[in-house]
Amino acid sequence: MKVPLSRIAQARSGDKGEGSNVGVMARSETAYAFLKEHLTTEVVRKHFHAINGAGNVTRYEADNMHVLNFLLSDSLGGGGSASIRTDAQGKTHGLGLLRMELEVPSTVLDATPED
Amino acid sequence: MTKKTVRIANGQGFWGDSILGPVRLMREGPLDYLTLDYLAEVTLSIMQKLRERDPSKGFAVDFVRMIDRVAADLVKKDVKVIANAGGVNPHACKDALLEVLARHGLNDMKIAVVEGDDILDRLDELMAEGEEFRNMDTGEPLSNVRDRVTSANVYLGAFPIAEALGEGARIVLTGRGTDPGLVLGPLIHEFGWGVKDEALLAAGTVAGHIVECGAQCSGGNYTDWRKIPNLAMVGYPIIEANEDGTFHVTKHEGTGGLVTRDTVRHQLVYEMGDPDRYLTPDCIANFASVRLHDEGNDRVRVDGIEGSAATDTYKVSLSYHDGWKATGQLTISGPDALEKARLCADIVWKRLAYDGFEYGPDERMEEYVGSGVCHAGIDGGETTDPPEVVLRMGVKGPDRKKVDRFGSELVPLVTSGPPGVTGFAAGRPKATEIIGFWPALVKKERIPTRVHVFS
């Protein structure tokens, strides 16, 4: 079934040098295992193509918190005080990622309570 | 013997946070320590400028105002305060504070100042000794921008804060230090943790990180925001710490907001890099080892934290003049709001070009706020026919005159653009300085710290 990422995960983002970090927090262990496999750097890089431009995406994992942490290297239009974009700190990038539509198996949905 | 628990709150998450955070923490329940963070990356550069103009300035005046409001309670409830409010002029901050305390009849309250973070005057000496201050992101040596440097501050650790508390200070003022150090300092002091107690230092560091952005761990900026009760009266976070490094995250009873495993992990991922290696001057904390146990009732127990020895360098936060910028905005009503806004932007660039002012693709910006700016290029994040739109435009570059010239072509659209252009009350945008941020490292052995106690 196609659902937004927000159905199975939470997120928060913020600035990190000239880029931003997006912490994705799965709503269940099953959802975490699914996201580890499907929410790849490539998928996230394409999703943020207009915001991160040609910038890189790096992924870290924290199994203890069911967290995937993505670093977008060039998502702020220049870092800190140099950016003249509205979202110069990447505060909204987390919600931007949660808009992603994903094909999620019903087994994962059944094991993941809605918020 | 009863086991000691130490209660440490954070009442200020950043420069500009609400004064109600600390004021309410002092009113609404028990506390041992109140910590406050007033410094962002570029704050010190701004404070440096203020001090150049007036030697009695260059610190967080908000802090002094806050103490003025809670001074009587600090004594009555026996709460100690730790704040990086000293900025680049901690002694001026201390003097302003002593004046306020004297007005409240508190002449014998000890105040400590932690010094050593401000190395602006020592830069050339340190560079001559071999410190290159290479930019941690780009690898460039500082010599490339040395003549434009406006501030240079070392992120000091928690041990000088503990030393100040050991000398009986009731208020500890620092300049630049790590944010988690504001919480770790009192824990080192209370429990006698040493530099080799890496797991304990890591635990205190994680505790500090969880509360360092104030209400961001107690319901603020939370994905499932509808679930958060009474955000208006959100409770600022409190750490209840034990000698063995375990702790609870909680808030005062009856306050708004929410503390759960999920609100706490929201803050753990904030500004996170590699979770295995969270570097501070006191230790390397492993966020991937943190265990969160939701006990209900706005209490989360945290344990399992691992850490390892700190590196032999401090991080340095330098800032330098990096050109000029100007931004301005107009509101454009429908019908056809977006189409008209695009025409407006086009008109501005054409008029500027007619007068000889052209801006490269990296030097100019236009945004159509309301049509999908924050989530540009993302499905569901954009719309083509908003009922109205805010046109935001900006330029940047090394030439101040060229940046200022842009500002005078925005407002004329009201009478010489398409119909429905309004919202120009702010007037002409003016060039403001871009403060470049330059992160670097310096050998710890070259940075002595000092603690002075006053009353």
Q: What is the pLDDT of residues B63-120, one digit of tens each?
A: 999 999 999 999 999 999 999 999 999 999 999 999 999 999 999 999 999 999 999 9
- Report d(CA B286, CA B278) in Å as an integer: 6
Task: Give the pLDDT confidence score for residue B329 in this predicted structure.
Answer: 96
Residue intervals in chain B for CATH 3.30.70.1150: 321-438
Task: Give the pLDDT confidence score for residue B157 in this predicted structure.
Answer: 98
In terms of CA atoms, which chain A residue is nearest residue B293?
A65
On chain A, the residues whose CB falls within 8 A of the CB of B365 are: 77, 84-85
On chain A, the residues whose CB falls within 8 A of the CB of B302 are: none
Task: Give the pLDDT confidence score for residue B313 in this predicted structure.
Answer: 98
Strands (E), A1-115: 2-4, 9-16, 19-26, 57-62, 67-72, 101-103
| Cα–Cα nearest to B435, from B322, B326, B325 | B322
The number of distinct structural domains making up chain A is 1
What are residue B173's phi and psi, to 5 degrees?
-110, 130
Q: What is the pLDDT of residues B351-381, one digit of tens each?
A: 999 999 999 999 999 999 999 999 999 999 9
Kind plus residue range of the DSSP H or E element containing B396: strand B388-397
Query: A87 and B289: CB-CB below 8 Å?
Result: no
The whole-number average pLDDT for the span B263-284 is 97
Chain A contact probe: residue of B221, B272, B291 with most A CBs at under 10 A: B272
Identify the band that residue B1 occupies on the pLDDT scale cut at 50, 70 and 90. very low
Query: A6 and B377: CB-CB below 8 Å?
Result: no
The whole-number average pLDDT for the span A101-115 is 95
Share of chain B above pLDDT 90, in %: 95
How many other C-beta atoms lie within 10 A of the C-beta of residue B358?
11
Exposure string (b/e) for B247-269, b if CB count within 10 Å is 16 or more? bbbbbbeebbbbbbbbbbbbbbb
Query: A96 and B379: CB-CB below 8 Å?
Result: no
On chain B, the residues whose CB falls within 8 A of the CB of A14 are: 270-271
In this structure, is residue A113 part of a structural domain? no
| Cα–Cα nearest to A67, from A115, A109, A12 | A12
User: What is the average pLDDT score of chain B?
Assistant: 96
What domain range includes position A60? 2-79+88-107
In this structure, is residue A114 part of a structural domain? no
Tokens of B238: 């409190």
Task: Give the pLDDT confidence score for residue A17 in this predicted structure.
Answer: 87
Query: A23 and B292: CB-CB below 8 Å?
Result: no
- pLDDT of B204 higher than 60: yes
Task: Give the pLDDT confidence score for residue B2 in this predicted structure.
Answer: 55
Q: What is the pLDDT of residues A67-106, one digit of tens each?
A: 999 999 999 998 777 899 999 999 999 999 999 999 999 9
Chain A contact probe: residue of B270, B294, B378 with most A CBs at under 10 A: B378
DSSP code, position A25 = E
Query: A81 and B396: CB-CB below 8 Å?
Result: no
In terms of CA atoms, which chain A residue is nearest residue B224?
A115
Segment among A31-40, A64-73, B430-439 with least mean pLDDT = B430-439
- Report d(CA A71, CA A34) in Å as an integer: 20
Task: Give the pLDDT confidence score for residue B40 in this predicted structure.
Answer: 82
Task: Give the pLDDT confidence score for residue B186 in this predicted structure.
Answer: 98
In terms of CA atoms, which chain A residue is nearest residue B290?
A64
Distance from CA of A44 to the nearest CA of B (A): 11
In this structure, is residue A101 part of a structural domain? yes
The whole-number average pLDDT for the span B312-340 is 97
In terms of CA atoms, which chain A residue is nearest residue B392?
A86
The whole-number average pLDDT for the span B428-450 is 95
Share of chain A above pLDDT 70, in %: 100
**3-state secondary structure at position A41:** helix
User: In terms of DSSP H, where are the helices of B212-319?
Assistant: 261-268
How many other C-beta atoms lie within 10 A of the C-beta of residue B129?
11
Tokens of A88: 């110069």
On chain A, the residues whose CB falls within 8 A of the CB of B439 are: 17
In terms of CA atoms, which chain B residue is nearest residue A18?
B137
Q: Domain B321-438: what homologous superfamily?
A: ACT-like. Chain A, domain 2 (3.30.70.1150)
The whole-number average pLDDT for the span B320-346 is 97
Amino acid at B183: V
| Cα–Cα nearest to A36, from A18, A12, A9 | A9
In this structure, is residue A115 part of a structural domain? no
Helix, strand, coil abundance in chain A, percent, nearest 5: 35, 30, 35
Task: Give the pLDDT confidence score for residue B43 in this predicted structure.
Answer: 87
Q: What is the pLDDT of residues B37-68, one digit of tens each?
A: 999 877 888 898 899 899 999 999 999 999 99
Beta carbon pairs, A and B, within 8 Å: 138
